[in-house]
Structure 1
Amino acid sequence: MDGVAQRIARQIMGILAKMYPPSAIEDVLARLERIEQKLDQIEYFSHGGRANYIGNNRVLTRCVVRNNVIAFILEADDRILSPWFIVSGRYEEILTNYFADNLKPDSHCIDVGTNFGYFTCLMARFCPSGRILGIEAEQNVYAVARDNIYVNGFEGIASVIHAAASNSTADVILHSRGTRSANTSIAKMPEDFIRTLAEPDSQAFAVRGVRLDDLLPQMGGRVDFLKVDVEGAEPLVFQGAQETFATNPQLRAVMEWSPGQISAAGFDPPIFLAELEAMGLAFHDIEPMGLTPLSAHELLNIPYRAGIVLQRAGLV
């Protein structure tokens, strides 16, 4: 027994033991546990399921994070993120809980690969006196993220730029996947894979590159949290963030870990991890009870994580 039932049981067990036989106490505890289960179901299914088509390939929905309501506009024809997010009102719960637990009201955050702006808006909600910057390369998705900032009234805290985080300011060639724009990448998906999903052909486009180091003045020289999800181009992001990490020893980065995508993008995962270690960063898995250290060897044997935490060794 846990949660509400356990807390109530501890408080009233002594009183019940004096007033009722053991069988009656067990019956009360069983009833409390059933009540807790029903409350959990109500809480779970109260999210999502509230969506309205607002035209121009846009759907308006919402989610609730720690009793904070955030509105989101999504692409109506998206087939990778929108469907389940609308149905459940939930998105990358492990990372959501990590940020909800660790963000401070004045945190400065950069969301690289912001997509429709979920984490950009989450950060803005939890950091009302902070500074939040999103970076999104795909034009249509950038527009959605921009609108979500304004829909929620976060424009005084957050902004998003249309660019690809990289190691230089040269244009970056990316491939957009139509109804799966969240998978826009510098790597082009094989045609057989595209046909299997009945997707339209991917479209190549160029977008300006931007170095995180060049954004430091915009962040007041301070970055506390960095979220990176760029479909295999993570090495370029960190190569362009050397000064950012050197001048912000408190910085925690949450990075999608997908060695398959990194390889497909033309980078070598072991070399990438060695570059991160040379920056003084240690790797951590996100567990329910906190962070668990990972070695580079262990990480190379993990095929995927929605997010691992990179931070200086010894940072609590």
Structure 2
Amino acid sequence: MKLFEFFKNLVYQKFPGFIFRFLAHSNDAIADLKKYNFSMVLNLDDNAISRPILVKGEYEQHVTQVLLKYLQHCKPELYFFDIGANLGYYSLLVASQCPQAKIYSFEPDKNNFRLFTTSINYNQFQTAIAPYRLAVSDENKTIVISNLGNQANYGARFTGNTVHELRNYVHGENPYYEEIPAVRLDDFLADIPVDIVKIDIEGYEPSALKGMVNLLKKNHPIIFAEFAPSNLKVFGKIEPQEFLYFFTNLNYTINLIDKKGQVIAYEQNINQLIQDFATYQTHHVDLIFTPGRKSESNPV
């Protein structure tokens, strides 16, 4: 029995009449996230994102909870950048909560992008979401992306300048590599008054942020970012402290979202965050960078 057939039967047994439908002749399924009033097209081969959403009806509950607090008071035309959109969960969430929002989403992987754009059309979010099958970097150039070569993290993509560079870090049995155009957002979206940025690109964040520094200085958006020190060293070619200094030098304060959805304010105390991270025994944590020197544990 195929893996997805086994999973299908298991879910039907555990959740009779559950809120998703399997698409014929594929491993794709449509999940109705009724709690947030949108649907997603997902792939059952994806253990990291699709299956948790199928079972829980949401993704990264702690981050979702905090983002929703900001969206409660979104202005009529909120501008949201989703860098590393993957299957589009956060773009779709913002579109569902802020119907007049303008969302610019970047996802270079062809499989993720197919599912994401299908979800946009299914929800009729074409006016709100502008999807781009592009990477984001510090220059307008061609870069290389690769999957991990296994199903453990189906949606994750590593980014580098050459295939040779990535081969040292991709250890799965069947990896693929693809050249993708990358854009510098200070050129590509220079006139967009961005309010919120979500960025999660597996350690390549420093290059993307360097290419949008003028947008950050001009608009001072709130930034949700994954902080994965090991990825930053390998793919960002930067020390974790240096990554954090990028934000404090722009007068941002640092906040950590714990797994309960509580926001822990670090102000600009980089050393304390690095010390605390060493005790967490985790690959990454989720941070919010807020403009100004005073952190806000409660954004509403």
Normalised to the residue count of structure 2, the TM-score between the two structures is: 0.79
**What code does the residue aligned with 1:245 have?**
L
Match of 2:9 in 1: none
1:50 to 19, 42, 56: 19
Identity of aligned residues (%): 21
Deviation at 1:277, TM superposition (A): 2.1
Normalised to the residue count of structure 1, the TM-score between the two structures is: 0.75
- Show CA shifts across 1:80-125 (max 9, x none): 2222221121210111111111021431101111000000000111
Match of 2:179 in 1: 206
- Show CA shifts across 1:28-72 (max 9, x none): xxxxxxxxxxxxxxxxx999943322144311112234xx32111
Match of 1:74 in 2: 42
Superposed CA RMSD:
2.5
Q: 1: distance between equivalents of 2:183 and 2:109? A: 14
Bigger radius of gyration among the two: 1
Match of 2:224 in 1: 254
Query: Does 1:300 find its partner at 2:274?
Result: yes
Q: How does 1:140-159 map to 2 (within 5 A)?
A: 140-159=111-130
Match of 1:59 in 2: 29
Q: How does 1:44-193 map to 2 (within 5 A)?
A: 49-54=18-23, 55-65=25-35, 68-103=36-71, 104=74, 105-178=76-149, 179=151, 180-186=153-159, 188=166
Q: 2: distance between equivalents of 1:243 and 1:52? A: 44
Cα separation, partners in 2 of 1:50 and 1:81, compared to 1, 3 Å: same
Q: Secondary structure of the residue that 2:158 maps to in structure 1?
A: coil
Name whichever of 79-88 and 300-309 sits farther off. 300-309
> Aligned residues, how many?
262
Deviation at 1:243, TM superposition (A): 1.0
Query: Which structure has the higher relative contact order (CA within 8 Å, separation 6+)?
Result: 2
Q: 2: distance between equivalents of 1:71 and 1:47? A: 19
**What code does the residue aligned with 1:53 have?**
F
Query: Structure 2: which 5+ runs fail to align?
Result: 1-13, 161-165
1:313 to 286, 292, 295: 292
Deviation at 1:141, TM superposition (A): 0.6
Cα separation, partners in 2 of 1:189 and 1:313, compared to 1, 3 Å: farther
